[in-house]
Amino acid sequence: MEREHGSATRLALIGVLALLAVNAGINILLDAAGVWSGLHLALEILTAVVGMGAATVLWIGWKKAERSEAEARAALDARKEERDAWRDSARRALDGLGAALDAQFRAWDLTPTEREVALLLLKGYSHKRIAEMTGRRERTVRQHGVVVYQKSGLAGRAELAAYFLEDLMLPEEERDTLRAGVSPKSP
């Protein structure tokens, strides 16, 4: 709607300026038949030239603005598609990470409650916050955490995080060499 209003306004403005130019031209022709002063003729010629020039400049500017807007919209649409593709890719990766976490929690034979606490510990929540979120007492959450560490063979929260996240921080070639048991190259 706004675009249609802008186009109508532009056309009306061009029309008014063109009408002024035509009016001045007709006035010049009518005055040419009679006696006219040089100053009067100069003003009418100036009016005609300015009106036509303004109409032309505005028309060219609006056309350039329309092209620029179309290009900007196309670029924005392309960025939206790129953003949506990245979000989908990230979502699939996170879904995969979630499935991998759950598989490892199950491999450690964690109960559903222990898996929930382990995930919240991994996310960095404090025992107190986990207790608030899950409706448990803080002491109970701490006990679940101890069981998670015992069943996993890890020494605490830092090792739990490192277990899952350590390889995510390395470039792919270094992850591959670590998996192969070869020490990575020094920078």
Highest mean pLDDT among 1-5, 38-42, 49-53, 103-107: 103-107
| CA–CA distance, 16 with 86 (Å, rounded to integer) | 50
Summarize pLDDT for 42-80 with one digit per residue, the tens: 777 777 777 787 778 888 888 898 999 999 999 998 899
| CB proximity list for 4: less than 8 A, separation 6 or greater | none
| CB proximity list for 29: less than 8 A, separation 6 or greater | none
**187 confidence band (pLDDT: 50, 70, 90):** very low
Q: Which two tokens stand for residue 56?
A: 């032309």
Q: Is 141 exposed, middle or buried (0-12, 13-18, 19+ CB in 10 A)?
A: buried
pTM check: above 0.85: no
| CA–CA distance, 28 with 25 (Å, rounded to integer) | 5
- Mean predicted confidence (pLDDT) in 143-163: 94
Q: What pLDDT, on the 0 to 100 scale, is given for residue 92?
A: 86
